[in-house]
Amino acid sequence: MKVLVTGPSGAVGQYVLEALMRTDHQVRVFALPDSMHRINYRDRIEMAPGELADPAALYDALKDVELVFHTALISPPPAIDAEILDHVNVEGTRSLVNACRGKVSRLVMMSSNNVYVPHRTPDLWPLTDDAPREAHGNPAQQALGESLIRAEDIVFEAAETGAFDYAMLRPTIVSGRKSPFVENLITQLIRNAEAAESLRRMWDTMQWTHGVDIGSAALLAAEHPDLRNQRMLVASDEPITAYDVVSLMWEIMNVGRDDNPYAEIASQNNVGLPKFYPARLRAAGWSARMTAKDCIREVLGRLEFYHSTAANFPAYLQVE
């Protein structure tokens, strides 16, 4: 089957591409011309340059395509404003949906758990797939939520009028290559472990999902009959707070020791209950393979903190 991936160099798109490399699908990617050099597996895929706002480029890119993975959606680092969110997430999706109408059989879209109603306090847990949506949070999160809800509605309404089937994935915080959130958190904590308290308060309980697991969820969502025209939360099993991140970092850096000084405070700050339960994907046989510890190990290894003079290690975060 011929498949198209939009946003193939992004935090999620690259893992969807990676997952597709293990299938026998013929893969075509649709990417901005200036991001082509950042796409992996360039020798094994077909490249279609263009932007979503350009119907002609989309028309060419969609030739013979039966399945589309739409991962070209953005979420705001502090500098992205509402207009850009609207342009990429809403207008981009609208343009793609119009081009896909009646041509592709299923569109798998990567939305975000940001679209759900506020779910911060433990009395609301666990959040599941069909929780109602309401944009919320600070102005940037609000704008992101609004743009994603609009983009989702475009897809839902197109499916209602028979344009194609969809599968709407809503991942929690994405970990993996090109995931600034996890990297920033770890960088802040390794420079100043005492920031854990304020970061715990800010982010409270998180359930990261690694790109690898989102990739496998996307493939499942593209094929599984029970996931046709469904909305799905994508989340790992493990609820963690900033204190758990510190504690896990200590474990990674102190292999074989069991006197983790952060274990107790991490356990005190963790309610121990999952915030998200991806019921639909679990019922379809999906579960996350990457633990929070794997995600942290990956970042620590990649950023080479061991050699960084900027990292201010507390005496008890011993290296080796």
Partner 1 sequence: MKVVILDRGSTLGAMLQAALEPLHFKVERHELLAGQSVIDEIDEILSGANAVFILHPGANLPHEKVEARMTEIMSAAARAGVRRAILLSNTVVYSDTASGDGTIRETAPIHEDDETASDAARFAVRIENAFFAAADDDLERVTLRVPTLYDRADPDAISELRSIMIEGKKACLPGAFQRLHPADLCSALVSAMRVSSASGHIFNIAETTAISPDVLVAELQRLGRLLSDPNATEDRVRPSYPFEEPRFATDKASRILDFRPQRSTWSSLAECAQEIIFDLRREGHVVDNTPKLPAVIAAIETRSKPLEGKVCVVTGATSGIGRELAVLLSRLGAHVVAVGRNTEAGASLLQELDDRPTCTPGEFYAADLSRSSEVKKLAEALVERHTDIHALFNNAGALFGSRVMTPEGIEATFAVNYLAAFHLTTRILKVISKEGHIVNLCSEAHRRSGLDFGDLFSSANYQPLEAYARAKFALMMFSNALTQRLERNGPRVLTISPGAVRTEILNRNDLKDRPELAVFNRARNRMISPERAASFVANLIIDQDLRAKTGIYMDQDKKVEIAPATTDPAACAHLWRVSEALVEMTLTEPVPEVS
The one among 124, 289, 308, 312 contacting partner 1 by CB under 8 A: 124
Read off the amino acid at residue 122: P
CB of 137 to partner 1, least distance (A): 12
User: Among 55-63, 140-148, 211-219, 227-235, which window interacts with partner 1 (CB under 8 A)?
Assistant: 140-148
CA dihedral over 37, 43, 48, 51, signed as positive or negative: negative
Closest CB to partner 1 among residues 118, 301: 118
> Which residues neighbour 263 within 8 Å (Cβ) at sequence distance 6 or greater?
247
Closest CB to partner 1 among residues 82, 300: 82
- Asked if residue 132 binds partner 1 (CB under 8 A), the reply is yes
Secondary structure (DSSP) of 268-293: HH---S-SB--HHHHHTT------HH
Number of chain residues interacting with partner 1 (CB under 8 A): 32
Residues 158-187 interacting with partner 1 (rule: CB under 8 A): 160-161
CB of 312 to partner 1, least distance (A): 26
Distance from chain centroid for Cα 85:
16
The one among 37, 272, 285, 309 contacting partner 1 by CB under 8 A: 272
The one among 1, 47, 53, 140 contacting partner 1 by CB under 8 A: 140
Nearest to 214 by CA among 232, 240, 241: 232
Nearest to 193 by CA among 257, 265, 270, 255: 265
Tokens coding 35: 């991001």
Residue 291's region, left for phi above 0, alpha for psi from -120 to 50, else beta, is: beta
Closest CB to partner 1 among residues 16, 242: 242
CB 241 within 8 A of CB 206: yes
- Asked if residue 122 binds partner 1 (CB under 8 A), the reply is yes
Q: Residue 29 pairs with which residues in a beta bridge?
A: 5, 47
CB 264 within 8 A of CB 204: no
- Asked if residue 102 binds partner 1 (CB under 8 A), the reply is no
Closest CB to partner 1 among residues 98, 308: 98
Closest CB to partner 1 among residues 79, 315: 79
Closest CB to partner 1 among residues 3, 131: 131
d(C-alpha 64, C-alpha 233), whole Å: 30
The one among 23, 198, 268, 308 contacting partner 1 by CB under 8 A: 268
- Asked if residue 21 binds partner 1 (CB under 8 A), the reply is no
Query: What are the CA-CA distances from residue 124 to residues 141, 144, 241, 270, 277 (Å)?
Result: 20, 22, 17, 16, 12
The one among 18, 146, 244, 298 contacting partner 1 by CB under 8 A: 146
d(C-alpha 88, C-alpha 176), whole Å: 22
- Asked if residue 194 binds partner 1 (CB under 8 A), the reply is no
Distance from chain centroid for Cα 182:
11
d(C-alpha 231, C-alpha 129), whole Å: 6
The total of other beta-carbon atoms located within 10 Å of residue 33's CB is 11
- Asked if residue 203 binds partner 1 (CB under 8 A), the reply is no
The one among 104, 108, 143, 295 contacting partner 1 by CB under 8 A: 143
- Asked if residue 41 binds partner 1 (CB under 8 A), the reply is no
Closest CB to partner 1 among residues 23, 287: 287
Instruction: Give contact residues for partner 1 (rule: CB under 8 A).
Output: 81-82, 117-118, 121-125, 131-135, 139-140, 142-143, 146, 150, 153, 157, 160-161, 264, 267-273
